[in-house]
Amino acid sequence: MERNGLSDRLREAKIGGWVLGVSGFLLVSFFLAPATVESGTVGPLEGRANAIDYYSEDGFGSYGNQNAVEGDESGVCCPAFAWSEVNFYAAIIYGFGDVNCHQKAERSWEVNNNQLPVCTRDVGIFAGLFIGGVVFSRRGWNRWTVRDTCLSLLPDSMLHGVYTSNRRTMVWLACGVLLCLPLIADGFLQLLTSYESTNLKRILTGIPFGFGLGILMCSMFAARAEAFRGAGQVLLPGNARFTLMSKQDQESE
């Protein structure tokens, strides 16, 4: 019997495998895709997050090319880039980056003299997603709710007091805040003050955020109440048990 009261955790391992597989594929592709494009043809880019800026050179989705800073004799600062015109693999990865990332050149790395499809912050986030998938595939258990499934990654010995005093929500939220705080602090300090982050800091603050996001995503898919015969079957730390509120208790609240 597993730590949650079920006979196996095959579903949890499968979900963790999907998260680590997809995030790992994208993470590796961020570095491989620039190598498959002719050297010096991508960047410097300056796009917008959640918008299409580099689909074509001068038609639909060409905001990034049309707003290039004037500099050389041709009137633009750098070669126009259209991900719809490169090989299929690179087009998928650069298209993904175009839609999801601002692609600021000064916040991005280069491979093969080509700018990566996403900034270093996103590289860190996807690295964290990958780590989260790996950890959940090995240590995550379905414990009825998303909150308790997230907490299942912590050793039961650390959670005895949490469950006996029913402080699960507080601890769950505290873990989320701790994982998000480095990224939030680094980003808002940069936005509101003269502080300027570095690419290394963006990587390091993106990893814990991505890790937390990966654990949350895995838990959302893994938490299944119907896998248990009832709430009482769920094994919890400290010999705690889920109990359903009576109708009288619900009315008194």
pLDDT at 251 over 60: no
pLDDT at residue 68, as a whole number = 56
Percentage of the chain exceeding pLDDT 90: 65
Q: Read off the pLDDT of residues 65-103 as tens digits, 9 standing for 90 and up.
A: 886 544 445 444 567 899 999 999 999 999 999 999 999
Least confident of 51-55, 61-65, 159-163: 61-65
DSSP string, the chain: --TTSSS--HHHHHHHHHHHHHHHHHHHHHHHGGGGS-TT-S------TTS--SSSSSSTT-HHHHTPPP-STTSSSS----GGGS-HHHHHHHHHHHHH----GGG--EETTEE-SS-HHHHHHHHHHHHHHHHHHHH----SSHHHHHHTTS-HHHHHHHHHTT-HHHHHHHHHHHHHHHHHHHHHHHHHSS----HHHHHHHHHHHHHHHHHHHHHHHH--GGGSSSGGG---GGG----PPPHHHHHH-
Structural contact between residues 50 and 100, judged by C-beta atoms closer than 8 angstroms: yes
Mean pLDDT over 106-131 rounds to: 95
Confidence of residue 35 (pLDDT cuts 50, 70, 90): very high
Q: What is the mean pLDDT of the chain?
A: 89
Rounded CA-CA distance 81/107 in Å is: 18
Summarize pLDDT for 197-212 with one digit per residue, the tens: 899 999 999 999 999 9
Is residue 199 a contact partner of residue 107, using CB atoms and an 8 Å limit? Answer: yes
Q: Supply 122's token pair.
A: 């996103």
> For 208-249, what is each residue's pLDDT tens digit?
999 999 999 999 999 999 999 888 899 898 888 887 654 444
Mind listing the pLDDT tens digit for each residue in 120-176? 999 999 999 999 999 999 999 999 999 999 999 999 889 999 998 989 999 999 999
**Gap between the Cα atoms of 103 and 121, Å rounded:** 10
User: pLDDT over 70 for what percent of the chain?
Assistant: 91
